[in-house]
Amino acid sequence: MKGVPSNLPSLTIKSIRDGLLGKQFSAAELAQAALAFAEKENASTNAFLTFAPERALAAAAKVDSEIAKGGFVGALAGVPLGVKDVIVTKGLRTTCGSRILENYIPPYDATAVFRLEAEGAVLIGKLNCDEFAMGSSNENSAFGPVRNPRALDRVPGGSSGGSAAAVAQGTAVVTLGSDTGGSIRQPASFFGVVGVTPTYGRVSRYGLTAFASSLDHIGPLARNVEDAATVLQIMAGRDEQDATSAYAPIGNYHEAMKLPVGSLKLGLPREYFEGLGAETGDVIHAAVKQLKGLGCTVQEISLPHTKYALSCYYIIATAEASSNLARYDGVRYSTRVNGDTLSEMYRNSRGSGFGAEVKRRIMLGTYVLSAGYYDAYYKKAQQVRTLIARDFTNAFTEVDAILAPVSPFPAFKIGEKVDDPLAMYLSDVYTLTGDLAGVPCMSVPCGLSPEGLPIGLQIFTKHFDEATMFRLAYAYEQSTSR
């Protein structure tokens, strides 16, 4: 054994596999090194909320013993994995970034986690996030924000900020995030890592703490397109535990990814570029040019209902959240704070357990669902959602993929938007539509702003056509790293 490479931040699934099978290091050595590195870095970044040394070392020992006896070596053998703390892990604290679940120990594993561990992934810990995944900057975590290790005065993005930070820093090689309105793609773009939101139903939501059930997705974050595709390939597919998980065929992402892209037709939605500043716009246009250079044809398209996405999302997401979060009442789930009467106990438990943003959303959601307002707000928003989804269906009769920015601006300063919820909500204007339509979408790093901050290119494809999305992203990535 030559020992664990000192370049933890540049490891990939493939380099780990080569290292293990080439006997350069053991899975146990790698797990120990990753844990030590993650614990040390956490002092400045706060990316992890809980470490899982026992679980990690047990998983690594199993990988090592299988390799020693020439047994089953899973596709993720020895790969250090971090999981956003809204995804449950058996016997391992899962807080959802909230005081109300500060001591919650789940009795089961999410299907996504179960499938990755079955392929040899080594779960090293749980990652910080906005409370119940509500936010765009991680400033809503009850355990303090994640600090962006690339620029400590900037937000990491949210809500899966810990998941993006860990990949960028190299404290985990791949991570899981969740995306309801952009929470995987936006932090991925702020960190210059790859973040994928699969088609709604592609990955089981069993074990993903519900925020807005019709919009919630689990997806991977990784250092390159290939690693993200590998993780999705393993997690994808029907799960009897989630009635909304799809039977749709998955295909082979690795084969699809390597196909040439010269025949692909790409659309640039006018609505996403109209108010876009040069800081982000120039970088996106350069990426589009690069894809043209690979032979893709590019045309302008229109997704005419984009302007309604923000209002539509904040009605549907808050409505579903108000219903989903009713279970944290000090009785069925969550920390109880006693009171003299039953209603006082509810009020004390929820009042002290939830943070301000979560309360704001519960109130908004309860309002839009209440008698007299349901038709005017909730029902209307569902109708608008259909129109937004139809925009994508229509566009995909003309083009194979849609290109857009992920965020109107790169990582902003901590504290800059925290007192202005509407300004914060606007950071999601380009990502919400993908979740509302349920189409697959991702962020691929595509360059730096003049200030040196990473910018992500967003790719959307048809429902269940992750293969074309990876193909394009991979071709782009290869053409830039040459």
Binding interface with ligand GLN (CB under 6 A): 133-136, 159, 178-183, 211, 317, 428
Q: How far is the CB of 199 from ligand GLN (least distance, A)?
A: 16
Q: How far is the CB of 277 from ligand GLN (least distance, A)?
A: 20
Q: What is the CA radius of gyration of the chain?
A: 21
Tokens 């892209």, residue located: 261
Q: How far is the CB of 211 from ligand GLN (least distance, A)?
A: 6
Under a CB-based contact definition with an 8 Å cutoff, are residues 317 and 211 in contact? yes
Instruction: Quote the CA–CA distance of 233 and 114 in Å, as a whole number.
Output: 14
- Nearest by Cα to 166 from 154, 143, 150: 150
Q: Which helix (H) or strand (E) holds 456?
A: strand 454-460
234 versus 364: smaller Cβ distance to ligand GLN: 364
317 versus 388: smaller Cβ distance to ligand GLN: 317
**How many CB atoms neighbour CB 10 within 10 A?**
11
Contacts of range 445-452, beta carbons closer than 8 Å, 24 or more positions apart: 445/189, 445/192, 445/193, 445/194, 445/477, 446/283, 446/284, 446/286, 446/287, 446/476, 446/480, 447/283, 447/286, 447/287, 448/192, 448/283, 449/279, 449/280, 449/283, 449/410, 450/279, 451/279, 451/410
Burial class (CB in 10 A: 0-12, 13-18, 19+), 87: buried
Tokens of 22: 């080439």
Instruction: Quote the CA–CA distance of 470 and 482 in Å, as a whole number.
Output: 18
Q: How far is the CB of 380 from ligand GLN (least distance, A)?
A: 19
Amino acid 190 reads: F
Q: How far is the CB of 136 from ligand GLN (least distance, A)?
A: 4
Tokens of 482: 């040459």
List residues bridging with 265 in a β-sheet.
297
Instruction: Quote the CA–CA distance of 136 and 417 in Å, as a whole number.
Output: 10
80 versus 195: smaller Cβ distance to ligand GLN: 195
Active site positions, annotated: 84, 159, 183
Q: How far is the CB of 43 from ligand GLN (least distance, A)?
A: 27
45 versus 163: smaller Cβ distance to ligand GLN: 163
161 versus 170: smaller Cβ distance to ligand GLN: 161
Instruction: Quote the CA–CA distance of 200 and 191 in Å, as a whole number.
Output: 24
Q: How far is the CB of 157 from ligand GLN (least distance, A)?
A: 9
Q: Which helix (H) or strand (E) holds 127?
A: strand 122-127
Q: How far is the CB of 8 from ligand GLN (least distance, A)?
A: 28
List Cα–Cα distances, 170 to 41, 320, 353, in angstroms.
Answer: 10, 35, 33
Under a CB-based contact definition with an 8 Å cutoff, are residues 58 and 65 in contact? no
Secondary structure (DSSP) of 340-380? SSHHHHHHHHHHHHS-HHHHHHHHHHHHHHSTTTIIIIIIH
